[in-house]
Structure 1
Amino acid sequence: MNRILNKKYFFLIFLTAMTASACKKVITVNLKDAAPQIVIEGNITNEARPYIVTIAKSVDFTQDNVYPPVTGATVTIKDDSTGITDMLSELPNGVYSSNATKGDIGHTYHLTVIANGKTYTAASTMPAQVLLDSITFQTNAAFGNSVTNALPNFQDPSGVYNAYQFVQSINGKLSKQLYVFDDRLSDGRYISRQLFNDSAYIQKGDTIQLEMQCLDKPVYSYFKELAGLDPTNGQPTSPANPISNINNGALGYFSAHTVQIKKAVFK
């Protein structure tokens, strides 16, 4: 799944959530003119490698929806636990692919990008995986209509901070909303939480796919702030970007997270 920039809107992101399908999500945040900035997006998961880091330049919102890739960068990922430093291979269009990195729970990964004479670094620790038990459905009355939402069901571990993101697809089409929350008010509880839809309503016979991601706290904070900037989430927008966990003024994020995918049919 990719969340990408929309024409005449300045926002950062090419989010690759490492799902099986190549979905695209558009987030529109109305911002003023701004100088181009580097946009770095990297994901490491507990799924099979290789892992991808994408580097591009943002554009002014008055320009066409074309985001120049950053080529010729030096990109490395170091695993603190193994001491292995992986030099990523450059592919076309500002994409860099890992060679030796293996995504493991509990490992901390350090990303270093050297591009256009500047160095950008970030770190992310892959948290323990919380297992998604099942997907159920709840139908609510809304404005004289019936609206059905999916509910992920899972046990939150007690006494440990956990943060979650859910990526939802309905019949293979990516939902617009960002679903992120932590266990601040639900530590140790069994969680069944509705994923409210905007316009992608669930109908009988629809196949729902949920990708459950367990995030570390800095990455959760990034996506929580991003959700607040996303008008499809019913939140007011503001002329700002979410705070990245990548330093030196880069936009984007670097995330080591777990992934689990389940499907269910609404009958």
Structure 2
Amino acid sequence: MKLYHKTLFIALLFIGASCTDVIDVDVPEGPIRLTIEASLDWEKGTTGNEQTILLSTSTPFFDNQGNTGVTGATVQVTNDNDGSEFVFNDQNNGRYTTSLFVPVLGDTYSLEVIYEGERYTATETLFPVTDISSITQSVDQGEDDEVLEVNVSFEDPADIENYYFLRFQSRNDLLPELFYIKDEFIDGNEATFYYEKIEDEEDNIVEFQPGDIVDITFLSASEDYYNYLQLLIEQFEGAGDPFSPTPVALVGNCINEDNPDNVPYGYFRVTEMVKSSYTFE
């Protein structure tokens, strides 16, 4: 009887193997596009003169190519209010840097990138950000009243339309938690936002423990950047959800002046920010 079972198992194994076909799926690939990561963030208490812009190219989904940094481009930022020009020098690895940038609250800045004979431009205004008034921990603000969470509070200036970007980065995680904030319902009041992690073995999420450290960045944002962040976060959080809308290519504020069909990816932002960190007790 044991021999019969063994023989039957081997036969089924060969039948299963013979019925397995390798199917090659052709995944449509879009054109290679320039990606512009131009985040000029001015931390309060610093001069803000050292800034970096990253240029790279997009890659096909299954491409394992690691370094797609763009070299040989011309990168410049201009203060439209006083005409000051800031040249970003090519570091030959996709990084373009300057140590001479001058941030001025309320001024408008324009980016110009010239790459492979095409000119890309974008414009943003530098808005002020309010200070963080307190950072605390609790267990009663979030979804689970037994899980540690960090709370960030700030006072929103009254009668001014403000947009904010709040970033939490646990030092135990690779990806940050992002919040886009509009002061429509908090104008002139103190607002508090919390960040908690609820344990999930399937997604390898572990709740906060005493001693864990969270880095916090609070930035000003323009209305356009707020809308861009909203779409970015909604698409990220909806990934893998069968009922979520089909993701579309997320286009930022950069424009190709010479070839409008060759739209770049990425965004040019100019922000003021405050940074802090919190250690759970």
TM category (shorter chain) comes to 0.7 to 0.9
What residue in structure 2 maps to residue 151 of structure 1? Answer: 151
What residue in structure 2 maps to residue 35 of structure 1? Answer: 31
What residue in structure 1 maps to residue 193 of structure 2? Answer: 193
Alignment partner of 1:195: what SS?
Answer: strand
Query: 1:179 touches 1:195 (CA, 8 Å); kept in 2?
Result: no
Gaps of 5+ in 2: 1-26, 199-204, 257-262
- 1:245 and 2:241 matched: no
Structure 2 vs 1, CA of residues 142 and 80 (structure 1 numbering), >3 Å: closer, same or farther? closer
Larger relative helix fraction: 2
1:206 to partner: Cα distance? 2.0
Query: 2:220 touches 2:272 (CA, 8 Å); kept in 1?
Result: yes
In 2, Cα distance between equivalents of 1:141 and 1:150 = 9
How many percent of aligned residue pairs carry the same amino acid? 23
Structure 2 vs 1, CA of residues 98 and 158 (structure 1 numbering), >3 Å: closer, same or farther? same
What residue in structure 2 maps to residue 7 of structure 1? Answer: none
Query: 1:77 touches 1:111 (CA, 8 Å); kept in 2?
Result: yes
What's the TM-score once normalised by structure 2's chain length? 0.76
Matched ranges for 1:94-173 at <5 A? 94-140=94-140, 146-171=146-171, 173=173
In 2, Cα distance between equivalents of 1:217 and 1:141 = 28
What residue in structure 1 maps to residue 228 of structure 2? Answer: 222
Q: Comparing 78-87 with 140-149, which one deviates more in the overlay? A: 140-149
1:146 to partner: Cα distance? 2.5
1:32 to partner: Cα distance? 5.5
Q: Comparing 145-154 with 48-57, which one deviates more in the overlay? A: 145-154
In 2, Cα distance between equivalents of 1:262 and 1:202 = 18
In 1, Cα distance between equivalents of 2:50 and 2:195 = 30
Q: Paired residues, what number? A: 237
Alignment partner of 1:62: what SS?
Answer: coil
1:211 to partner: Cα distance? 1.0
Structure 2 vs 1, CA of residues 237 and 231 (structure 1 numbering), >3 Å: closer, same or farther? farther
In 2, Cα distance between equivalents of 1:58 and 1:216 = 26
Query: 2:218 touches 2:275 (CA, 8 Å); kept in 1?
Result: yes
Query: 2:167 touches 2:176 (CA, 8 Å); kept in 1?
Result: no
Report Cα offsets for 1:210-240 as digits up to 9, x if no partner: 1111111111211111101113899746321
Q: Which amino acid aligns with 2:32?
A: P
- 1:46 and 2:42 matched: yes
In 2, Cα distance between equivalents of 1:39 and 1:218 = 18
In 2, Cα distance between equivalents of 1:84 and 1:143 = 49
Query: 2:104 touches 2:126 (CA, 8 Å); kept in 1?
Result: yes
Report Cα offsets for 1:98-134 as digits up to 9, x if no partner: 2432122112110000101111100111112211111
1:191 to partner: Cα distance? 0.2
1:184 to partner: Cα distance? 1.9
Q: Which amino acid aligns with 2:87?
A: M
What residue in structure 2 maps to residue 91 of structure 1? Answer: 91
What residue in structure 2 maps to residue 266 of structure 1? Answer: 280
- 1:204 and 2:204 matched: no
Larger Rg, first or second structure (1 or 2): 2
What residue in structure 2 maps to residue 255 of structure 1? Answer: 269
Structure 2 vs 1, CA of residues 200 and 233 (structure 1 numbering), >3 Å: closer, same or farther? farther
Question: How well do the aligned residues superpose, as a CA RMSD in angstroms?
Answer: 2.6
Alignment partner of 2:139: what SS?
Answer: strand
